[in-house]
Amino acid sequence: MVVPGVAQAQSFVDWIDVDTTLGTATGTLAGAQVTISGPCGIPGPVACGIYDAGGEAGGYTGFGDAALFATPVVNTDYVGFVGGFGNNPPLVYDVSFSAPVTDPVILIENLASTLVFTLPPGATLSRLSGDPTIDNRTFTVTGTTVVGTLVDCPQPCRVDAAGELQINGTVTGFSFTARYDVAGSPGNLVDGINLQLGGTVLPPPVDAGVSEDASPDAAEPDADEPDAGEPEDGGLIADSGSPDSGPPADSGNVDSGSVDTGASDSGSPRPDAGFRPDTGAPINNDAGVTTEEDEGCGCSSTRSPGGAWANLALPFLVWSLRRRRR
Quick: pLDDT tens for 41-53.
887 788 899 988 8
Residues 6+ apart with CB under 8 A from 146: 108, 111, 114, 115, 116, 117, 125, 127, 139, 140, 163, 165
Of the pLDDT bands very low, low, confident and very high (cuts 50, 70, 90), residue 304 is very low
Q: Give the integer Cα–Cα distance in Å for 136 and 205.
A: 48
Residue ranges of the domains in the chain?
2-206, 231-326
- Band the pLDDT of 190: cuts 50, 70, 90: confident
**What average pLDDT does this structure show over 62-78?**
93
Distance CA 43, CA 85 (A): 9
CA 95-101-107 angle, to 5 degrees, is 60
For residue 206, give every residue at least 6 positions away whose Cβ sits within 8 Å of its Cβ, in sequence order, or none: 2, 3, 5
Enclosing H/E stretch for 50: strand 50-51
**pLDDT at residue 94 greater than cutoff 90:** yes
Enter the DSSP assignment of 236: B
How far, in Å, CA of 271 to CA of 291, rounded? 12
Largest CA distance in the chain: 139
pLDDT band at 238 (very low <50, low <70, confident <90, very high): very low
pLDDT tens digits, one per residue of 263-287:
444 444 444 444 444 545 444 444 4
Q: What is the pLDDT of residue 110?
A: 92
Amino acid occupying residue 18: V
Q: Is the dihedral of CA 236, 238, 242, 243 positive or negative?
A: negative
pTM assigned to the model? 0.61
pLDDT value at residue 210? 52
pLDDT top residue among 153 and 49? 49
Mean pLDDT of 171-189: 82
DSSP for residue 297:
T
Alpha-carbon torsion (257, 260, 265, 267), positive or negative? negative
**Letter for the amino acid at 115?**
L
| Average pLDDT of every residue of the chain | 73
**What's residue 45's pLDDT?**
83
Position 290 pLDDT exceeds 70: no
Q: How confident is the model at residue 58 (pLDDT cuts 50, 70, 90)?
A: confident
Is the pLDDT higher at 240 or at 164?
A: 164
> 47: helix, coil or strand?
coil
DSSP state of 216: G
Q: Which amino acid is at 172?
A: T
> 227 burial class (0-12, 13-18, 19+ CB within 10 angstroms)?
exposed
**Do 214 and 27 contact (CB within 8 A), yes or no?**
no
The whole-number average pLDDT for the span 129-151 is: 88
What's the mean pLDDT in 54-72?
90
- pLDDT in the model for residue 243: 46
Instruction: Give the model's confidence band at 155: pLDDT under 50 very low, under 70 low, under 90 confident, else very high.
Output: low
**pLDDT class of 321 with cuts at 50, 70, 90:** low
Q: What share of the chain is helix, strand, coil (3-state, %, to 5)?
A: 10, 35, 55
Q: Quick check: 251 pLDDT over 80? A: no
Mean of pLDDT values over 225-253: 47
* Span 284-310, average pLDDT: 46
In this predicted model, what pLDDT tens digit does every residue of 8-44 receive, in sequence order?
Answer: 568 999 999 999 999 999 999 999 999 999 999 887 7
- SS3 of residue 262 by DSSP: coil
According to DSSP, the residues that pair with 126 across neighbouring strands are 166
What is the C-alpha to C-alpha distance for residues 236 and 18, in angstroms, rounded to an integer? 81
Q: Is the dihedral of CA 267, 270, 275, 281 positive or negative?
A: negative
Residue 276 or residue 1, greater confidence: 276
